[in-house]
Structure 1
Amino acid sequence: MDIIGSDLIFTIALFLLVVFAVLGIAWGLFYPRLSKNYSRDQRIQAVSMSRVKIADQRLKSASTDRRKDIEANLKQMENAHKKGKEKKQSLKARLGQAGLTITPKQFWLYSLVCGCGLFLAALVGGMSMPVSVGMGIVGCLGLPHFWLSRKRKKRMKKFIAEFPNAVDVIVRGIKTGLPLGDCLVIAATETAEPVRSEFRRLVDEQAMGLPLAKVVPRLHQRVPLPETNFFAIVIAIQSQAGGSLSEALGNLSRVLRSRAQMKEKVQAMSMEAKASAAIIGVMPFLIAILIYFTNRPFIIIMFQENLGLIMISAAVAWMAVGAFVMRVMINFDV
């Protein structure tokens, strides 16, 4: 009985396997033809849609990889920019940013001459020796650096005002089909100073064999402004990741002009506060000079007595604190 039962189970299992195999073959061969809802066009559309999905996935992955590369480049440039800001600029770099051709040794020589001149002028004017020495130190270390910073700031303002025009020249050249190097040459000849001289240095460095991705960041080193940093980032990203350079530079030009308009608007709104702060800061010195020329013995005792020198030092210190506070209150960075 056991043998007969096992043979019966084996026969039934074999029969079921054969039936399922035949049904599977029939399903694969005849179902697409027999089905009214699944035509040939629908099968082709399904295959094409699968290919479209694969292409979309590849495009999304490529755009994601490109976005990651751009973010990595931006982070690297931002870190380099922060390190450059934290690093104190040398006197030679500041002289170059001010557009001066003198060497640091010549600058220190002129500073020494200025300090000696103020020292002698204070002695001839009847000042005491400590006051005369202080005037000499101010003339040697204070006034030349103040003049250098003012000249550097003035040159940076001129560069910011002219730089969007140079970017527009480059954009028009790229749209006409010229390479970026020729556009830089045109910008170096058509723009005004100090942009002209800086772009000439870019063209000269590129002519020496340096790649453009390394030449443009040097512009930001010579002119440490956010505008030149933006320009260097756009050029670096385009050279590494590709894209429409004319569109990117056009957007950059609009951003630069918007920043300039915002700065002018903020400056106009804060001009009254700046004028008030300047009048308040200069008034004590003007009054002291007027008293010195009208009633000299009344004020000269302040410079001859120790108590007077202490009072003057305290007053100057408090004036410096007040000027610093007013400058922080009326200074707006855009």
Structure 2
Amino acid sequence: MLSPELAPLFAALLGALCVSGVVVAVFYSRVGGRSEADKRLAAIAGWDGPTGRAAVSDEGSRKRSIETTLRDLEEQQKARRGVKPSLAIRIRQAGLDWSRNTYFVACFIAGGISFIAALTIFGIGLLPALCFGLAGGLLLPHLYVSRKRARRFKDFISEFPNAVDVIVRGVKSGLPLVDCLRAIAADAKEPLRSEFKAILEDQTLGVPMDQAVQRLSERVPVAEANFFAIVIALQSRSGGNLSEALGNLSRVLRERKKMEGKIRAMSSEAKASAGIIGSLPVVVACLLYLTAPDYISLLFTTLIGKVVLAGCAMWMGFGVLMMRKMINFDF
């Protein structure tokens, strides 16, 4: 037991120790604990989320990869632009299953029919009939293949936005790109069906997807197929949201189709005027032949008339080609 004299002193000492302990605890909580909290808060405040340094470096590398991919694709397009397609490629692009020998047989048949028609129907001489048959043999199969090729490209462009929409919906629903292409190859119209089947066959043989789609733009050299090949190549090499990229491509393709319709509507008057101007000399010559055959027959019976007729036909051909160049718009 403490004496009554030491009890107040001992109580004051215990109170001082308690107060000092509280002060030391508060001090350490302020200095040590608060500094750790400040560090954590500073780290959280300094974190920029997906746009931090690491993300910035990843974004920069992705941009460099995209630039490299675009540069490579542009160089490939420049290399292909200066090379005209061969006969076999043109026949393949026209959707015909001809071989080169079949094409040459068609040329021979067309030349023979043209020679016989010039010799019997028009009644011209042997040498002009031979020239007429040679021109028919060289020109008629070429025009047929070119027309089939242009029509096939037009059908492809018309149906291609629908195929891109199928891919967009399939990718958004979780399907792989190969399954979307397989659905198009099974259900789409020609020529999309055969072209996407060729992509799947290349993929089955081990060709990477970007190269297989790049071959599509080589088989069908239109801007729409080229855009699709660029989007797939960028996505396969640089990553990104494929459904969003293809959705933007689908909108671009449909806007191009609308623009084509507007251009066709705006140029219809010029095309009608060009058709009237180009057909007017032929119509007038036929009317003159019906009303005054002796007057116009000099063009066909005399040497000077034939020379004048040939010169007029040549200048009319130049005029028709010039008007065609003026009323055709590239976009």
TM-score (norm 1): 0.80
More off after superposition, 217-226 vs 144-153 = 144-153
Code of the residue aligned with 1:60 in structure 2: it is V
Letter in 2 for 1:217: Q
Q: CA deviation at 1:55?
A: 6.6
User: Which residue matches 1:198?
Assistant: 195
Taking the TM superposition and a 5 Å limit, the aligned residue runs for 1:298-309 are 302-303=299-300, 305-309=302-306
Moved more, 137-146 or 233-242: 137-146
Specify the alignment match of 1:121 in structure 2. Answer: 117
Other-structure match for 1:60: 56
Distance 1:142 1:308, change over 3 A: farther
Kindly state the Cα deviation for residue 131 of structure 1 after the two structures are TM-superposed: 4.1
- Preserved contact between residue 128 and residue 304 of structure 1 (Cα < 8 Å): no
- Provide closer, same or farther for how the CA distance between residues 135 and 312 of structure 1 changes in structure 2, counting only shifts above 3 A: farther
Could you tell me which runs of 5 or more consecutive residues in structure 1 were left unpaired when the two chains were aligned: 1-31
Match for residue 231 of structure 1?
228
- Equivalent residue of 2:207, what SS? coil
- The separation in 2 between residues aligned to 1:34 and 1:206, in whole angstroms, is 66
Equivalent-residue separation in structure 2 for 1:297 and 1:92 (angstroms):
51
Aligned-partner SS, 1:157 = helix
Separation (CA, whole Å) in 2 of partners of 1:250 and 1:54 = 24
Deviation at 1:238, TM superposition (A): 0.9
Offset at residue 171 of structure 1 (A): 1.2
Instruction: Give the aligned residue type for 2:75.
Output: N
Q: Could you say if the C-alpha distance between residues 222 and 296 of structure 1 is closer, same or farther in structure 2, counting changes exceeding 3 Å?
A: farther
Counterpart in the other structure of 1:17 = none
Q: Structure 2: how far apart are the matches of 1:220 and 1:161? A: 16
The alpha-carbon distance between structure 1 residues 55 and 161, as it changes in their structure 2 partners (threshold 3 A), is closer
1:259 aligns with 2:261: no
Aligned to 1:280: 277
Distance 2:51 2:151 in 1: 54
What is the 5 A alignment of 1:205-224? Answer: 205-224=202-221
Q: How big is the shift at 1:305?
A: 4.5
Matched, 1:112 2:112: no
Q: How far off its partner does 1:54 sit?
A: 11
Alignment counterpart, residue 144 of structure 1, candidates 141, 146, 152: 141
- When residues 132 and 308 of structure 1 are mapped into structure 2, their CA distance, relative to the original with a 3 A threshold, is farther
Q: Cα deviations across residues 122-177 of structure 1 (Å, max 9, x unaligned)?
A: 22222244543443233122232222212211111111000011111111111111
SS in 2 for 1:333: coil
Percent identity (aligned)? 44
Indicate whether 1:310 and 2:324 are aligned. no
Aligned to 2:318: 321
> Counterparts of 2:167 and 2:103 in 1: how far apart (Å)?
37
Cα pair 1:94 1:152 within 8 Å, conserved? yes
Q: Given the superposition, is the C-alpha separation of residues 121 and 295 from structure 1 closer, same or farther in structure 2, using an over 3 Å criterion?
A: farther
Q: Which moved more, 1:279-288 or 1:154-163?
A: 279-288
Report the Cα offset of residue 59 of structure 1: 1.8
Partner of 1:88: 84
CA distance in 2, matches of 1:131, 1:301: 20
TM-score of the superposed pair, with normalisation by structure 2 = 0.81
Residue 279 of structure 1: how far off its partner (Å) = 3.0
Task: Tell me the CA shift for residue 242 of structure 1.
Answer: 0.9
Query: What's the Cα RMSD here?
Result: 2.8
Alignment-derived partner of residue 177 in structure 2: 180
* Partners of 2:139 and 2:266 in 1: CA distance: 31
CA distance in 1, matches of 2:109, 2:316: 28
Structure 2 spans left out of the alignment, 5+ residues: 1-27
Provide the C-alpha distance between the structure 2 equivalents of 1:233 and 1:107, rounded to a whole number of angstroms: 34
Query: Could you tell me how far apart the structure 2 residues matched to 1:263 and 1:81 are?
Result: 24
Q: d(CA) in 2 for partners of 1:77 and 1:131?
A: 50
The verdict on how the C-alpha distance between 1:198 and 1:294 changes in structure 2, with shifts beyond 3 A counting, is farther
Contact 1:116–1:136 at 8 Å: present in 2 too? Answer: yes
Summarize the Cα distance change of 1:64–1:249 in structure 2 as closer, same or farther, 3 Å threshold.
same
Aligned length: 301
> Match for residue 330 of structure 2?
333
